[in-house]
């Protein structure tokens, strides 16, 4: 089983590429945002704890997110592979994920880092905001999100580069071309 992290700035195409990879390879997919919403909706203990942080305007602690990911690993037992989308977002989360996988006798096999020029990211997100009506896709919020990404999330690339599993992927161009670049990396792991 391959454990993949799809990684990149907001608007880099993580969600789009995750969908294509799920279809192409039959991988399981975990979006931490979807996980949080599902746990809250179910009213589970994890969900109640997460909701209390969200309602207070705070970030959900890493330990709760890791607990949710571990629960999914145990329940789903993915066979072909697992794509994590939206996690880890900090080096501390990457370290916690590494520990979780080590506990289960596995590791992150590849970090697929979708690299897109800043101007293109902004244009993509503005367009998405116009098309979908997402309120967080306005210029001010986009600039804040990109700032947080560069300060907190981008250092994960170096963390995984040291482990030899970081793969920079050109994230511009046709979706099919980007998918082909990613597939080349995935196929080299098998």
| pLDDT tens-digit map of 57-73 | 777 888 888 988 888 88
| pLDDT tens-digit map of 23-51 | 999 999 988 878 888 889 999 998 999 88
Cα atoms in the Cβ-side hemisphere of radius 13 Å centred on 146: 21
Task: Provide the whole-model pTM.
Answer: 0.88
From the CB of residue 88, how many other CB atoms can be counted at a distance below 10 Å? 26
Name the residues annotated as catalytic: 14, 89, 128, 134, 145
Whole-number Å distance between alpha carbons of 110 and 100? 16
């Amino acid at each position: 089983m391959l454990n993949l992290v799809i990684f990149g700035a907001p608007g880099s195409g993580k969600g789009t590429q995750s969908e294509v990879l799920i279809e192409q390879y039959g991988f399981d997919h975990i979006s931490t945002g979807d996980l949080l919403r599902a746990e809250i909706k179910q009213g589970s203990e994890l969900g109640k704890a997460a909701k209390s942080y969200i309602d207070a305007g705070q970030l959900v602690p890493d330990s709760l997110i890791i607990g949710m990911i571990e629960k999914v690993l145990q329940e789903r037992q993915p066979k072909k592979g697992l794509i994590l989308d939206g996690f880890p977002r900090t080096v501390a989360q990457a370290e916690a994920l590494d520990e979780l996988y080590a506990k289960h006798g596995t590791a992150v096999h590849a970090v697929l880092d979708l690299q897109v020029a800043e101007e293109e990211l902004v244009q993509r997100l503005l367009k998405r905001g116009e098309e979908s009506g997402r309120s967080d896709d306005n210029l001010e919020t986009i600039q804040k999100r990109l700032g947080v990404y560069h300060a907190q999330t981008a250092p994960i690339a170096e963390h995984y580069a040291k482990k030899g599993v970081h793969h920079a992927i050109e994230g511009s161009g046709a979706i099919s071309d980007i998918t082909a670049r990613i597939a080349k990396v995935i196929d080299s792991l098998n």
